[in-house]
Structure 1
Amino acid sequence: MSRRAITLLVAGFLVLALGIAGAWLDVPYVVLSPGPTENTIGEVDKKPVISIQDRQTYPTTGALSLVTVSYQGGPRARPDLLTALRGWVDPTSAVVPEESIFPRTQTAEEVEQENTAEMTSSQDNATAAALTELKIDYSMVPAVLSVEKTAPAAGVLKPSDEIRTVDGKPITSVDQVSAGVKARKPGDEIVFGVTRDGRQLDVTVKSIASKQGTAMVGIVMHAKYKFPFKVSISVGDVGGPSAGMMFALGIIDKLTPGALTGGKSVAGTGTITPDGKVGGIGGIAQKMVGAKDSGATIFLTPADNCAEAVKAAPDGLRLVKAETLHGAVQALDAIRSGKGVVPSCSAG
């Protein structure tokens, strides 16, 4: 064999070896794909997704399904190049930079904790929004959801502490607690007026600097609602706030006679505020594929996601625009009765 042939053979072998090795290299991307759907008026593991105690409920039919996005990747388990390439060519998947899901300012554990907190908050907000829509009274106080083990607040503030004041200023919302802390400088002592086990007391926490340079004490807050009856929501290992609207619709359906869907299979997504505003979410394309695969024919779409949804909607899936919970209920009423205007998504 000539020297030239040997050189070409060796070079070809090296290129192949490098290509194979490179294909198995981890890459800083996350592959998004359609996740499971759950019917909020149905059951998971033979248990109702939504359980309501001490209040009359009504049987219903059809489906009001929440949709999810599954992901491969993250700082602790990055995908290899081949997995990322398969995601790029799969029309039902999306490949996004790792930092869009796991910001560099947060650890993977912090992201998971935040998703869990957001899911808890989403369920409470959904109950509040449903009761607001049905004109059922309830009350709310900002409270501590969790305390970081190594944070200044550890051992001083406790989960379930209801925050009445920050540095003497009355508090009525979670945002006011956050604003009150951030208004101080790192190192300042912050006095929290709290209600704990029925007792009112003042506790002092010395703040530290967050990664953004603002004051922090290391607590996660949530709105602690006091409802006139108990609403429990269980969907297993699902995190984040994007199922809020569908939870609220499921609660309304159970608390009112008849089937809100008219027996149809409806899916949807969107965050919810206690006063019923529907917010945009991520992964809309993957969620619509999951909805279609689950048998849904109608997809309740946050107004902020409409333009993107129109471009990626699977055939046979009707996109209904939802700006508020009240609007979503009205749209379902119009679809069920065949009367009234049903708002639809447009590309503009």
Structure 2
Amino acid sequence: MPRRTATMLASTLMLIALLCAGVLIPVPYAEMSPGPTVNTLGDHGGEPVLQISGRKTYTTSGHLNMTTVRVTSADYRMNLVEAVYGWLAHDNKVVPHDTLYPDGKTEEQSTQENAEEFSQSQESAKVAALKELDIPVTSWVIVSTVVKGSPAEGRLHAGDVIKAVDGTAVKEPGDVAKLVTKHKPGEKVVFRIVPAKDQAAAEKANKTATKTQDVTITTATSDDSGEKRAIVGISAGTDHTFPFTIDIKLADVGGPSAGLMFALGIYDKLTPGSLTGGEFVAGTGTIDDAGKVGPIGGIEMKTVGARSQGAQYFLTPAENCAAAAKDTPSGLRLVKVNTIDDALDALKDIRGGDTADLPKCTK
């Protein structure tokens, strides 16, 4: 066989071997790509995204789109060829697998966590919008979760209302941990609670639950990497009672990043006139009960997804501004927001056509 032919054959076989290896060898990466956007003022799956009853609502126009990111599943094993393609693709982002699924988190665990965060973001969006409108909202501290195998298991339950710890009234979720950690591990701590079933019954009857009980729990030692402290094995959260019904109908979406856009959509439906002036506005950002907007992941994917659907303005959490500004899709204007008030001020300028001084995102 001529040397040239042998060299070409060897090179071809080497290339085939490398391609096979690239396809067969898994790499520890996952991929993010632009997901669908949904107009919080419109319909999705044949029904309104925001459904409000028991309170007068107003006609809306334009778009206030929440945005999403698609990610590969926890058990998907990307190969080298796919990783290289993802790195080269402009609209996709390849990241270490542990970034999306830390500590070996399964698909089921991730889905459950995202569902819980999505539910909490809806509650905070409702609270932030109603507070902005000076509509009273009743709030209280509850047991959000109980850690399996912890001292609190079987003693406290998710949904129990925490009225006091060791006789000190609890006003915020953070108060619970502060009061528990005043103890040393092995000491007893007393929770005054309204059991979840009694609270639910009172709410159903439109009454205030008054029956309380004291629960004594012996604290254990924390097992995390920080300073050892007393724990009982619960996380505290906040529950609310609203003066009318607000339902958010959006399936197959998870995480907390739609909070801001839900809050704006609720505000728009409860106030006369159009918040957007008919413009196409999209955005993202977590929101807390006080209306503070927080950062999210996958901002580059969300701006691409928003622009592909026709968005002209994108409400961007201040902490995400630098990343978003590095590669902003043509025709999309980033608007920096720190709070719901910032977003409402920006929307006022947008609908009025006075956009010269909108807060900008810079690299």
The alignment status of 1:67 with 2:67, answered yes or no, reads yes
The alignment status of 1:311 with 2:326, answered yes or no, reads yes
Shift in Å, 1:272: 0.9
Shift in Å, 1:118: 1.7
Contact map agreement 1:167 1:192 (CA 8 A) in 2: yes
Shift in Å, 1:15: 6.6
Contact map agreement 1:29 1:95 (CA 8 A) in 2: yes
- Name the CA shift for 1:331/1:84 in 2 (closer, same or farther; >3 Å): same
Unaligned runs of 5+ in 2: 199-208
Contact map agreement 1:42 1:48 (CA 8 A) in 2: yes
Counterpart of 2:279 (choices 241, 264, 289) is 264
Q: Distance in 1 between matches of 2:100 and 2:187?
A: 32
* Corresponding residue for residue 119 of structure 2: 120
Taking only aligned residues, the RMSD between alpha carbons, in angstroms, comes to 2.8
The aligned runs of 1:1-348 (5 Å cut-off) are 13=13, 16-17=16-17, 19-74=19-74, 76-104=75-103, 109-181=108-180, 184=183, 189-196=188-195, 197=198, 198=209, 199-205=211-217, 206-207=219-220, 209-212=222-225, 215-339=230-354, 342-348=357-363
- Classify the secondary structure of the residue corresponding to 1:104: helix
Question: If the length of structure 2 is used for normalisation, what is the TM-score?
Answer: 0.85
Aligned residue pairs: how many? Answer: 347
Between the aligned residues of both structures, percent identity stands at 45
Amino acid at match of 2:16: L
Deviates more, 1:44-53 or 1:121-130: 44-53
- Classify the secondary structure of the residue corresponding to 1:312: coil
- Name the CA shift for 1:316/1:5 in 2 (closer, same or farther; >3 Å): closer
Q: Distance in 1 between matches of 2:134 and 2:221?
A: 42
- Classify the secondary structure of the residue corresponding to 1:314: coil
Shift in Å, 1:284: 0.7
Q: Distance in 1 between matches of 2:118 and 2:164?
A: 26
Contact map agreement 1:54 1:230 (CA 8 A) in 2: yes
* Corresponding residue for residue 206 of structure 2: none
Question: If the length of structure 1 is used for normalisation, what is the TM-score?
Answer: 0.89
Q: Distance in 2 between matches of 1:57 and 1:237?
A: 27
Contact map agreement 2:164 2:191 (CA 8 A) in 1: yes
Shift in Å, 1:31: 0.6
Q: Distance in 2 between matches of 1:107 and 1:297?
A: 37
Q: Distance in 2 between matches of 1:297 and 1:94?
A: 23
Q: Distance in 2 between matches of 1:335 and 1:36?
A: 24
Q: Distance in 2 between matches of 1:78 and 1:167?
A: 50
Q: Distance in 2 between matches of 1:165 and 1:322?
A: 36
Q: Distance in 1 between matches of 2:212 and 2:114?
A: 31
Contact map agreement 2:349 2:358 (CA 8 A) in 1: no
Shift in Å, 1:190: 3.8
